[in-house]
Amino acid sequence: MAREDILALAEPDAETAEALKSFPQMPANTDISFWKKMEDARRPQIYAMMGPIPSSITETDHSVPMRDGHSITIRSYTPVNPPQGGSPLIVMYHGGGFCLGGLESETPNCRAFAAQIGAVVLNVDYRLAPDHPFPTPVNDAYDAFKWAAENAEALNATPEAGFIVAGVSAGGNLASVVAHLSRNESIFPPLSGQYLSVPVLIPHEAVPPKYQPEYLSWSQNSSGGGVLPAPLVQMFETNHNPDVESPLFATFNDPNGHAGLPKAYFQICGADPYRDDAVIYSRVLKEECGVDTRVDVYKGLPHMFWQMMPGLKQSVQWRTDSVEGVRWLLNGGK
């Protein structure tokens, strides 16, 4: 993609620009405890807005031990009437900069995938920084994934019908790392798809020279559209404290490369500082590694805009795209 085309992704159309005038701005506070308290206060409201569990699915919480003996919660969403060929298995990781978020974050997506596609979906409540900095979140993510693979039958899932790893934002990072680890270790059953929504993939301090001319979003979108300004990004990075050289975080720089990975569906926000992580990685997968990809871009919109303005027409479209993107992964990229 030419430089001018990449830069143009940040420009909203007239209707979007008008809608963004009422877009809520994030507080400038960079104390992670402030954000955790605000999130705890909002959680009951979030669940109330989501409404009751749809009658077409069941939800069950599982306590699953991790490698260090600690147990985390994995919530399963199971269709009451599974598809004739069996239920695909989807493992989902929420966003929140590795510091925030929880099961409520991706409940709408998980319910949609179970109700509309007939998948068994696992929502992973991995441990968060600063109490549990890197590499605990990614270790939990991979341990949860292996538990899913080992217990698919007991979970009423049929991974032969599709086995997808999925994540949003920081969760997209975890999903991508898990996809690489699964390939490297030949986990069975093998993955058949990756759902990577606004993923964090390339540490801005460690962009390979070859791709630096295309990595424009960190400077172009430094304000984060008011949603993810640079000081907040720094807050998350400081508390998570990842090793930017490790493939357990810098999945783009995995020493084993990306060949042999399953097909990938990307969602990219044009005004997101992490936009070009996905722009570059999706191109590398397709053009350099022969991996089938599908990409949806939301021009002029900031990181995870759909959570801040759920009534925006693009937010409605994002929800539709999420389901259709997963269908595409399950249908062999067709």
Nearest-Å Rg of the Cα atoms of the chain is 19
Total domains, the chain: 1
| 90 DSSP β-pair partners | 121, 164
Name the band, by pLDDT with cuts 50, 70 and 90, for residue 334. Answer: low
CB atoms within 10 A of CB 62: 17
Do the Cβ atoms of 123 and 94 come closer than 8 Å?
yes
Range of the domain at 114: 3-330
Greater confidence, 109 or 46?
109
Alpha helices for the chain (secondary structure H): 3-8, 14-20, 32-50, 107-112, 136-150, 170-184, 217-220, 230-240, 275-283, 289, 305-308, 313-330
What's 241's DSSP letter?
-
CATH of the domain at 197: 3.40.50.1820
- pTM score, two decimals? 0.97
pLDDT at 174: 99
Write out pLDDT tens, residues 51-110.
Answer: 999 999 999 999 999 999 999 999 999 999 999 999 999 999 999 999 999 999 999 999
- Given a cut of 80, whether residue 24 has pLDDT beyond it is no
Rounded to 5°, angle at Cα 321 from 285 and 120: 85
Q: Tell me the per-residue pLDDT of 233-252, one tens digit each, with 9 for 90 and over.
A: 999 999 999 999 999 999 99
